Chains A and B, each alone.
Chain A
Amino acid sequence: MPSTTDVSNSPRSAFDDGVRSVVPLLVGVVPFGLILGVAAGNAAMGVGLAWSTSVIIFGGAAQLVTIELSNGGAAAAVIVATALVVNARHLMYSAALAEPFRDFPTGWRYGLPYLMTDQAFAVSITRYATTSDPVYRRWFYFGAGMGLWIPWQVTTATGALAGALIPESWSLDFAIPLVFMVLIIPALDRKPGIAAAIVGGVVAVTARDVPYRLGLIIAALAGIAAGVIAERRYAR
């Protein structure tokens, strides 16, 4: 089991730790927010409603799908179903966070999932491996969530108002996989973690053309299965 390190109990410092943990991710999040904002600015549904998806949905890929399918005149049921399938990976994050969130008061337990994103999940589940204090844990997650939520609102609004600001040739979107790369490293200490990462990566590349980002779900499930099988084989 992971060891528990000593951390400060102050909610403020836990919140700050959460914010700090997502700062490097903003290099990738900000250009994506601007791009989505530009799409919202040209959306058939109107800029106001298109931008409000940042608050109501708060998930870049699902927002982009909603705006694009709506532009193309897709049926309402198709738009809703597609966007929800794109967000289906949150089911896995929700399951992985269920145990740590059990120790939180009810209001936190129902409020924090709204802030769930790839990034907030990744930094929190990594930090939870070394900290068990529920007060620290919830404030850390809250900090990470808000550290992404506020820039997302600001950048999508900026993009909607000001158009494209950062040239695509700067390739700033590459920063997100770079950060995730670092977050994988602790799991590679054990063979089952290595198996999960390799199988997840290989299947994701193989299944990259499956529509609605379902390749990601298929790859994640394959990687999880590989981890479990390896764990049984090597008996921890």
Chain B
Amino acid sequence: MTTDLLIVVLIGAGTYLTRLSFVAAFARSGVPGWMQAPLRYVAPAVLAAIVAPAVIAPIGAVDVTAANPRFLAGVIALLVAIRTKSVSWTIITGMAALWLLQALF
């Protein structure tokens, strides 16, 4: 249907413009000084905001008990991440812990 095509194209164009926005806007002038400090914290803030709910409230409600295997597996994985800084080891131990806990409970 033409309306559906139009919807998809509009979302595609809008998404591209969102991604391009500040990259294009600051290409000449550079990023304003007052924005430099906030931008340093985009990565840790966003990443933690994606990770925390996925671990602490994976099915909607906050659950930090043994009944939530993703919480325990997440804690184990975080310790491995801090200790090894290795993506591979964190995935291996995190997924292994999750499968083990899911099998146990």
Contacts and interface: CB of A to CB of B under 8 A. Distances in A.
Interface of A: 24, 27, 45-46, 49, 52-53, 56-59, 62, 66, 70, 76, 79-80, 83-84, 87-99, 101-102, 106, 109-110, 112-114, 116, 118, 121-122, 125-126, 169, 171-172, 174-188, 192-193, 196-205, 208-209, 215-216, 219-228, 231
B41 A52 contact: no
Given A94-B21, A97-B23, A174-B73, A184 B11 contact: no
A91 B43 contact: no
Specify the main secondary structure of chain A where it touches its partner. Answer: helix
A178 B39 contact: no
Specify the main secondary structure of chain B where it touches its partner. Answer: helix
Interface residues of B, number: 68
Contacts of A178: 74, 77, 81, 90-91, 94-95
B13 to A, nearest CB: 9
With a 10 A CB-CB cut-off, give which of A171, A178, A179, A186 has the most chain B CB atoms. A178
A192 B44 CA distance: 10
A95 B31 contact: yes
Contacts of B42: 92-93, 95-96, 125, 220, 224
Nearest to A112: B23
